[in-house]
Structures are given as C-alpha cells and as structure tokens.
A and B are shown apart, each in its own frame.
Chain A
C-alpha cells in the first residue's frame, strides 16, 4: 500500500514532483560539476608540480648561499677579465673559458643526508647538485682607460645550460623522477662514476642532440645515454649527470664540491608526517630552506591559479547556495503539498492511521523525488564535467618570474623561500600548459546521492512535521 499510494500521489502531482526533482538535480549537478572541476584543478596543480618538482618528492631542502660568496656562473669570466687587466692575456687573444658551478644555493655536506634519512617519518632522501654550465668565447679587446666590465662583456658570447647532478641510485626522487626516457636509457647505479649524461628533450631538440652523441659539461665530454621528456611541457634542467661526477667537476666559487650537495630531496611516509619531518630537518639545518609541495603550489600563478581560486571560492559557494535554494524550494513545495492534502491526512487519521505512518508516507514521497533528483543531478553533473573537458581552455601555470628576480602571486611572504627553491629547480620562469579535466569519482557520486536524499529527507521532514501537527478534527472540519 505504501508504494502504491506513493506512486499514485507522485503521479497526481507529477509537475510539482518534476519541478522539485529538477531543482534538486540542478543543485546536485552543480555540486558535482564544481567539485569535479575543483578536483581537476587540483590534479592539474599536482601535475604542474610533478613536472617542476619531481614525482614522489615531498620536501626539498636547500641552504641559502653563504654571505659574500660570488655568483658561481660568472666566476670564470671575472677571472679572465682580471687576467686581461693585469696583462696576462694580450688584446686580440681568442679565449674560451668554461665553468660549471653552483648557481643559487649554499653547500650542504652530504653527511647531513644520512641524518635526514634517519629522521622519523622520512622514507627516502637523495642529494643533488644544481649547477650552471657557462662557456664564454671571444677575442680580448683593446683596453682603454675608463672601459668598464660591460665593454669587455660585449666582446664575448656566452652559452649556458643547467646541469643537475642526480643520484643514479635513487632516481625515484628529485627532478629526473618526473621524466620519461623517450630514447636511450636513464642513469642507473652502474653509471654512478661514468661520464654519462641524460639530456632534456627540449634542450636536445634545440641543440640537435640525441642518445649516442656527446655533450661537453664543465670541460668533460659526456656520452648522452638517453633523452628525457618531462610531462606537461615543463622546463626542467637541460642535462642530468651522475652526482659523483657533478661533485668531481663542479665548483662552488673556486672550491671543489667533493662530498657536497646543494639540494636534498626528501619523501615522507604520509602527508601527515610532513610537518614533523620539516621540523626535524629544521633542527638539523637551522638555516636551511625547507620547502614542501604546498609552498610551491602557492607560488603557481596564471590561469591555473585563478581557476583554483575560482573553484574553491566562488564555485563552492555558488553550489552551496544552489543546494540550499533547492532544499528550501523542495521543503516549501512539500509543505504546500501537505497543506493541500489536509483533508486526506485527516481522513487517514480518522481511519486509525498512526501519525508516524502518515509522516513516513510524506517522507517517502519526498525521498522518491530526492532519488529522482539525484539520478538526474548525476547525469547533469556528468554533462557539466563533459562540457568542461570539451569547452574549457587549457590552463596555464606560471612558476617564477620571467627575469628571475621575484615571484608574484599569492603567498608572497612565504614565497621568498619557496620561490628561490623553484627558481633553481626549474631554472627561472616557466609557463606550463595543462588541460582542465573534471573527474567524476564514485565518492563524488555517492556524496551527490546522499545530498539529494538528504534534501528529500529535509523536505519530507518539514512536510511530515506539518502533517503530524494536524488534529484529525481540524483537518476534517476544513472545507477545501
């Protein structure tokens, strides 16, 4: 009888039932679309960070450069100028100088690496060296009094590329981890001391390099064993060489880098461990910059950042407002419907129907409408997410400034540390283009269905409450 009565009643007020169900469906569809889009934006952010930061890396540790230290990449050229000034090198002499030196960071003794690896919550730690290879060639100009360094510079051309010394025994961490070998092979533990290099696909294409070829890094001829492609068209380091070789041929100013690293990549057991791990590292290296991926996320600007902000602020509020409006309209219409059926419920009470049975009938009808709303809402949600996938333009994420001097965007205060990490990790400014997807998960559908049922329940409870308050005598006395 319950189902027969329910079905017939819904059929009687089919237009109202459809209206309520559509209202709920719109709210649910909007929630699904916005949450899915928000998840999509987060996925895109994760993809960008993947591309720039490295798969599996939770924390990056760097030290600020020591006070008064010279910028490594210009050291060799400055030395040449000194030689010219002091007459060691005569005007007209053709010179070619190369330096491979640390670019941004202070030096960390690799002994710290083992200590970090032993920290509670740390599941992996690997060291790296972020180097810059600078080659300056040209002819020594005639020196006249008053010439500054600039006039010397104009006589020379320079070529520079970024070199990362990576631990071949642990390529699951660090910048090489996010790449896919498109040709050749990657560095392995066997190549720890070999003159082997992996070249980034962008740099390889630009300089017509391929696996099997060679490349000069810091004056040493390296065999290119593979070309690596990073996802989402990120701009990773140009060349990867074994860490041991980087320590051997690289310099920090005029000092050797033997046993040193300047970046430590760390993975934590879980996201919950990250704060404790950060704190532990902070104790070991009080002056170090300890950056996690959320710090980096705050440094991502561009349309991806705008979309993220839009999804998390306007989108969520909009869907919440739509949901509340849908629930409100459903409740009001259900109460109106109950008010119209006052004689019917009065009759049922006169026939001995307990109030709870009448309330259950009203709630049942609302629940059925809620379920219909959920079904239509899920479909609408799928349509919304499909349209986002089809129509939404690609989002761009900009990390770091074009001139490398500052990072704009939210998180500026924190950003100083994070942005300096980024600058080195990504060699300055990068704009990564990512497609916006809106994945609809089973959890999301479940939440939507629960919301719709909740909406139906709320509406039904209001209606039921009204029905329960009726006295049969009053109900029957009313003339419709």
Chain B
C-alpha cells in the first residue's frame, strides 16, 4: 500500500531551517496496524501528514497504491484524501456549529453523495460507534470520548482504505482511551482497514501489529519478533 523512500521534510521557521524528517524509509501493507511512537516534536505528526497527502516531502518518494503523493497535482491528492484517507485528530476537530450527524456528513460532501444517502450513512456510522442517541447533539454537548467517536465515525463513513490517527486518545482519560482504541481496533479489523496511529502512549502502541519509533526525524521499526511479549 505505502512505500516511502528517503523521505526528508524541512521547514523554514523564522530564519532557521528545521529538518522534521531525515530520510524515512517505510513500507506499510494493506490491513496493517502501525503505531508510531516517539517524543513530541520528533516528526511523528509530520510523517502522518505526508502519509495523508496533507504535506509533501522536501526529498524522497511517497507511493500510495501506485500514486506518488510527492508529485501528483494537488487536485488529485485532494480527491485521494476525500476517497481513501480517514483522519482522526487528537483534538477531534469537529465543526462546532454542526450536529454530530452533520459532522459525519461533512466527510461525504466532497464525494458528491446525495443528501438522503449522506444522512443515512452518517446515522449508520454513528450507530456503529455507539452514538445513535446523540445524532442531533452539537460537539459542545458531547463528552471528549463521544466527540472522538463522532470523529471516528466521520473518518470511517466514507469507507477509506487507510485510517490515519494523530494521538487519538491524547485528550482522553484512561477508561475512555481503552474504549476508543478498542473501537478503532475492532472496526479496522472487521473492515480490513489499514491503520496508522501516532501515539506516545506505550499501552496503546503495544496493541499495534508493528510499532515504529521516531526520534530526531528518523524512523526505526524493530522486527516484530524482537518485541517483548505483552
């Protein structure tokens, strides 16, 4: 599915050049769950953004199902984002003025899905994450865990091939964290989705099939056989 080779990402901040990624090589298979751990500010989120076509590498290649995310025109990458990538953010990023069901519908808008079907699919997605009773609630009327469930429903409603989660449990308490991770794990497993999750939570990362470690913009992925048993 993904093949990254020699990916470098440099930012210019003020007068200084910051290198966020320093030659990342990575392959991710279909249906795989990859967790990327590492301290804050070491390039985890940058890597996730490059995987999701939100940013382009300064050097190197990013291949997604035969499409180069580094060189494909922005319009096509936008279409790819709409169709194939589901994003889940640490801060949920729900539209504050829209209800839960409308927030989920938002993901179907760029696909040109009609209003009736859009609503039905959004309600179904919310039911799948246990929020069938909260369809008309605004984000401000939901708890953090419920908001993240809405965000998961929004990411999954379009049946993407990849789910990209950036610290999805970072703002949640321990109980809710386990609940959300369990939900994600189950949905990705039953639907055969690829899941790439950035986290600095070891207990969350330990549930992934593979765990990568980002440090100073470099990614190392130990052989699964070397992982200590949980």
Contacts and interface: CB of A to CB of B under 8 A. Distances in A.
A343 B87 CA distance: 14
B90 to A, nearest CB: 10
Interface in B45-102: 45-46, 49, 52, 54-55, 75, 78-83, 85, 87, 89, 91, 93, 95-98, 102
A5 B107 contact: no
B3 to A, nearest CB: 21
B102 A1 contact: yes
Interface in A459-479: 471-473, 476-477
A344 B89 CA distance: 12
Contact of A351 (B96, B97, B107): B107
A347 B78 contact: no
B120 interface: no
A4 B102 contact: yes
A259 interface: no
Nearest to B50: A473
Nearest to A344: B95
Contacts of A4: 98, 102
B57 to A, nearest CB: 12
A11 interface: yes
Given A8-B98, A354-B78, A476-B54, A347 B93 contact: yes
A477 B98 contact: no
Contacts of B54: 349-350, 471-473, 476
Nearest to A13: B97
Nearest to A479: B91
Interface string A323-355: 000000000000000000001101111111111
Contacts of B18: none
Contact of A5 (B49, B52, B82, B98): B98
Given A351-B106, A353-B110, A9 B97 contact: yes
Contacts of A349: 54, 78, 81
Contact of B79 (A11, A12, A347, A352): A352
A4 B89 CA distance: 24
Contacts of A472: 49, 54-55
Interface in A351-410: 351-355, 357
B79 A351 contact: no
A77 B74 CA distance: 100
B110 A343 contact: no
Contact of A477 (B45, B75, B111, B115): B45
B35 to A, nearest CB: 20
B86 to A, nearest CB: 9
A9 B96 CA distance: 9
A476 to B, nearest CB: 7
A462 B7 CA distance: 36
Contacts of B82: 351-353
Contacts of A8: 97-98
Contacts of B85: 350, 352
A476 B93 contact: yes
A351 B110 contact: yes
B14 to A, nearest CB: 15
A351 B81 contact: yes
B121 interface: no
Contacts of B142: none
A71 B32 CA distance: 115
A252 B205 CA distance: 117
Interface string A3-23: 011001101100000000000
Given A4-B102, A352-B82, A347 B95 contact: yes
A354 B110 contact: yes
A357 B106 CA distance: 12
Contacts of A12: 96-97
Nearest to B46: A473
Contacts of B45: 477
A1 B95 contact: no
A4 to B, nearest CB: 6
B18 to A, nearest CB: 12
Nearest to A351: B107
Contacts of B105: 1
B42 interface: no
B154 interface: yes
B132 interface: no
A5 B110 contact: no
Contacts of A11: 97
Given A8-B97, A471-B55, A350 B109 contact: no
B97 A354 contact: no
A5 B118 CA distance: 15
Given A351-B154, A471-B55, A476-B54, A1 B115 contact: yes
A347 B55 contact: no
A476 B89 contact: yes
Given A1-B106, A1-B109, A476-B93, A350 B98 contact: no
A473 B55 CA distance: 6
Interface string A104-119: 0000000000000000
B89 A347 contact: yes
A334 to B, nearest CB: 16
Contacts of B75: 354
B106 A348 contact: yes
A473 B49 contact: yes
B113 to A, nearest CB: 10
A349 B107 CA distance: 10
A348 to B, nearest CB: 7
Given A351-B87, A473-B49, A476-B89, A5 B81 contact: no
Contact of A350 (B52, B83, B111, B118): B52
A357 B118 CA distance: 18
A350 to B, nearest CB: 5
Contacts of B95: 5, 344, 347-348
Nearest to B86: A351
Contacts of B98: 4-5, 8
12 contacts: A1-B118, A346-B93, A351-B87, A351-B106, A351-B154, A352-B78, A352-B85, A353-B82, A353-B110, A473-B54, A476-B49, A477-B45
Given A344-B96, A357-B110, 8 more contacts: A1-B106, A8-B98, A349-B78, A350-B93, A351-B82, A352-B107, A355-B78, A473-B54
The 3 A-B residue pairs with the shortest CB-CB distance in the complex, in nearest-first order: A352-B82, A8-B97, A473-B55
